[in-house]
Structure 1
Amino acid sequence: MAEIILNVDVRDGVGTGGARAARRAGMVPGVLYGGDKAPVAISVDEKAFRKSLYTGKLLGHLVTLKYGEETQPVIARDVQFDPVSDRPLHFDLMRVDENQTVKIEIPVHFINEDQCQAFRQGGSLEVVRHAVEVKVPANHIPEDLIVDLSGHKLGDTIRWSDLKVPSDVEPTIEGRDFVIASIKSSSAAKAADQIEAEEAEAAAEVPATEQSDEG
Structure 2
Amino acid sequence: MSDYAVLEAAARDRAGKGAARAIRREGGVPGVIYGGGQDAVMLTMDPRVLHARMRKTGFFATQFHVDVAGKKHRVLPKEVQFHPVTDDPIHVDFLRVTDRTRVTVEIPVRFVNEEAAPGLEVGGVLSVVRHTVEVATAAGNIPEEIVVDLTGMEIGDSVRIGSISLPEGVRPTIADRDFMIASIAAPMQIVEDEEEDEEDDEMDVPTVAEDEAAQQDDEDGPAES
Q: Give TM-score, length-normalised by structure 1.
A: 0.72
Q: Which segment drifts farther, 75-84 or 102-111?
A: 75-84
Is 1:102 the equivalent of 2:103? Answer: yes
Q: Report sequence identity in percent.
A: 37
Q: Which segment drifts farther, 36-45 or 95-104?
A: 36-45
Query: Structure 1, residues 43-64: CA drift from partner, whole Å, max 9, x if none?
Result: 1233443444456575321211
Provide the residue aligned with 2:134 in structure 1.
133
Whether the 8 Å CA contact 1:122–1:189 is kept in 2: the answer is no
Whether the 8 Å CA contact 1:101–1:138 is kept in 2: the answer is yes
Whether the 8 Å CA contact 1:60–1:77 is kept in 2: the answer is no
- How far 1:159 moved relative to its partner? 0.8
Whether the 8 Å CA contact 1:62–1:141 is kept in 2: the answer is no
Provide the residue aligned with 1:49 in structure 2.
50
Provide the residue aligned with 1:199 in structure 2.
none
3-state SS of paired residue (1:167) = coil
Q: Which runs of 5+ in 2 are unaligned?
A: 194-225
- How far 1:134 moved relative to its partner? 0.9
Larger Rg: 2
Q: Which segment drifts farther, 111-120 or 141-150?
A: 111-120
Provide the residue aligned with 1:202 in structure 2.
none
Aligned equivalents of 1:75 and 1:86: distance in 2?
Answer: 22
- How far 1:66 moved relative to its partner? 2.6
Residue-pair matches, total:
191
Provide the residue aligned with 1:171 in structure 2.
172
For 1:123-202, what aligned pairs fall within 5 Å after superposition?
123-188=124-189
Provide the aligned C-alpha RMSD in A.
3.0
Provide the residue aligned with 1:122 in structure 2.
123
3-state SS of paired residue (1:104) = strand
Whether the 8 Å CA contact 2:60–2:106 is kept in 1: the answer is no
Q: 1:177 to 1:55 in 2, by over 3 A?
A: closer
Provide the residue aligned with 1:14 in structure 2.
16
Aligned equivalents of 2:115 and 2:62: distance in 1?
Answer: 30
Query: Structure 1, residues 57-82: CA drift from partner, whole Å, max 9, x if none?
Result: 75321211232343331101233456
Whether the 8 Å CA contact 2:126–2:183 is kept in 1: the answer is yes
Q: Which runs of 5+ in 1 are unaligned?
A: 193-215
